[in-house]
Amino acid sequence: MCLSTGEADVFNKYKDDKGNLKENLTKDVKGLLSLYEASYLSAHGEIILDEALVFTETHLKSMVARLVSPLADQVTHALNRPAHGGIVKYEQWYSISFYEQDELHIEPVLKPANSNFNTLQKLYQEELRNLSKWWKELEFTTKLPFARDRLIECYIVVLGLFIQPQYALARQILTKSTMLYPYWMTYMMYMILTKSTMLVSILDDIYDVHGTIEELEQFTKMIERWDTSMEDLPDYTKVWFEALFVSLNHVPTLEEYRKNGVFSCTYPLLTVSSLCGMGKIASKEVFDWLFTHPKILASTSDLLRLIDDVASHERPCVECCMKQHGVSKQDAHDELTKLVERTLKESDWKDINEEPLGVPKKVLQVFLNFARVADVFYSDYDAFTESITMAKDMLAAFLINPMPIE
């Protein structure tokens, strides 16, 4: 996924005698665009690629308004999201579309690309039909109507991870796991609700049966002030107050939340589910490595948790930031958005690009694809929950509209 030291050194030819990137690079827009895309393959310590990213991004942004289509559209698309950060299937569709508009395109190259795209589309359609039948037979939408019904969105997310025809089993396992996850979360919500109900039941007995007027008035004031010192409270009310405090009111710092989020987000569970469908390539050694919680897993989990939370102003990540820094919800959201951008460029993507020794590249590709899916689905808004345009566009591209073949 990343470039080796030797491969990165190849870009030294683009530097002048002073060690700066040559200004004449800006005369070749397509070359500049290619260098920009390549710079996103960097890992930690590849300084020349970091410099190339700043150089190319700055110049492409300044010249895009003067370009004409289709090159202008191609540059705009890349600046919004480089190919390395996009969902592979979607980027494939874009590449074919841009190439088709190029006056110099070669028809013998374009025709088999379109044909391959359409063949896989028919395979995906058949898989989705089978998954739809399975989902209807479960009757979850009628038995648990409060949970999100997002079969198509789940399948599109899974297509972001596995597009190859040989991974049909992996797609079906992961789609089912993703669909069932919200219902497992519903179970956790019931557990929380059960705790709350028990506490309320005991509180009812305290007020109706056991407490005196004076004790209850004092107890009520302590709860309203959230005075955890509990001074001068009777022992029986202290026991209840401590149970309430332990059960419901810890707001962690942002750093604590991120550390916990690496384990509590869906990603590790879904990673294991997805590898189960990859056949022999997902060997015992791969799972042994996975259970050591490698850096690539931690970074991808952190990335997914952050992006998902920032996409929604109501998520715990925003609350933690508000509480820790004493800022408004909007200020917390803005600061977290900047944090995600910094984390993407300076840490997580570089961690994900680095290749651990001994792990098959096809397995590592799953981690990279998870990061791509998260960035695409949650960078601007929660496109999984609110299927406004993005998911619909992908549905049309992946599963409905075939590529034209003359």
* 353-371: pLDDT as tens digits: 887 778 888 888 888 888 8
* Proportion of the chain above pLDDT 90, given as a percent: 9
pLDDT at 67: 92
How far apart CA 339 and CA 392 sit, in angstroms, is: 29
* 341-352: pLDDT as tens digits: 777 766 667 888
Where residue 122 falls among pLDDT bands split at 50, 70, 90? Answer: very high
HSE at residue 25, side-chain half, CA atoms within 13 A, is: 23
**CB count, 10 Å around CB of 76?**
15
Where residue 37 falls among pLDDT bands split at 50, 70, 90? Answer: very high
Q: Most confidently modeled of 230-239, 280-289, 367-376, 392-401?
A: 280-289
Where residue 74 falls among pLDDT bands split at 50, 70, 90? Answer: very high
* Proportion of the chain above pLDDT 70, given as a percent: 83
Where residue 75 falls among pLDDT bands split at 50, 70, 90? Answer: very high
* Prediction pTM value: 0.70
Q: Which amino acid type is present at position 87?
A: I
Contacts for 65-74: CB closer than 8 Å, 24+ residues apart: 67/29, 69/101, 70/98, 70/101, 70/102, 71/29, 71/30, 73/98, 74/33, 74/98
> What six digits make up the tokens of 113?
């690309």
What are the chain's domains? 5-80 (1.50.10.130), 116-189+251-400 (1.10.600.10)
Cβ atoms of 86 and 107 within 8 Å: the answer is no
* 241-284: pLDDT as tens digits: 877 776 657 667 878 877 777 766 667 777 777 788 888 888 98
Higher-pLDDT residue of 229 and 37 is: 37
Where residue 383 falls among pLDDT bands split at 50, 70, 90? Answer: low
How far apart CA 94 and CA 397 sit, in angstroms, is: 10
* pLDDT over threshold 80, residue 198: no
pLDDT at 1: 56
pLDDT at 134: 86
DSSP letter string, 181-211: HHHHHHHHHHHHHHHHHHHHHHHHHIIIII-
**CB count, 10 Å around CB of 107?**
8
How far apart CA 119 and CA 77 sit, in angstroms, is: 26
Where residue 236 falls among pLDDT bands split at 50, 70, 90? Answer: confident
* pLDDT over threshold 70, residue 186: no
Query: What are phi and psi for residue 122, nearest 5 degrees?
Result: -65, -35
* pLDDT over threshold 90, residue 301: no
Residues in the chain, total: 406
Query: What are phi and psi for residue 110, nearest 5 degrees?
Result: -70, -40
